[in-house]
Copies of this chain bind each other. A is one copy, B any other.
Amino acid sequence: MISVEEQLKSMKQQMISKGYKSTIQREATMRVLLEHERDHMSAEDVYMRVKTRFPEIGLATVYRTLELLTELHLVEKMNFGDGVARFDLRSEDHEHMHHHMICSICGEVEEIQDDWLSELEQRVKREYGFNVSDHRLDFIGTFSSCKHGDCHRHRENAS
């Protein structure tokens, strides 16, 4: 695990090397993302969190920063079908996008960190002549625990 400061430095460098400027607003936004690595925050969520530390920031700036970071492949932009885009840091040890389990009882989104798709990607290439650069795999269903009343979300929130 690399420290937050180091990760931040590396992200800033990537920004600068691509010709973008490093600003305090962008830094504040990245810091929030680093501190909520796997929270699936919406742009609004990120905005509110950044705002507690940097109250004069504008919503549009957060949107533009998230867009930029997505372009640089530093964050991933997700869509769970509820009309809001969600964002997570894309850590260097996970090149590919991870998979999700979305609970239809409690709405909780949990991640699968492994990459289960390498084989299928080769198959896509063989059978369809399609070169995969990224993927998105979501499972919709229910956690056994949720079905039995011991809801997953409650357990998480309790911690």
Contact = CB atoms under 8 A, between A and B. Distances in A.
- Best-surrounded residue of A110, A123, A140 (most CB of chain B within 10 A): A140
A121 interface: yes
Interface stretch (A5-13, A32-40, A141-149): A141-149
A142 B130 CA distance: 6
Contacts of A131: 141-144, 147
Contact of A121 (B134, B139, B143, B147): B139
Interface string A119-159: 01101100011111111111111111101000000000000
A23 B111 CA distance: 42
Copies of this chain = 2
A88 to B, nearest CB: 14
A81 interface: yes
Interface string A32-71: 0000000000000000000000000000000000000000
A143 B116 CA distance: 22
Nearest to A83: B85
17 contacts: A77-B81, A79-B79, A79-B81, A101-B130, A104-B133, A110-B130, A112-B124, A130-B139, A130-B143, A131-B142, A132-B141, A133-B140, A135-B138, A136-B136, A136-B137, A136-B140, A137-B137
Interface of A: 77, 79, 81, 85, 101, 103-104, 110, 112, 116, 120-121, 123-124, 128-145, 147
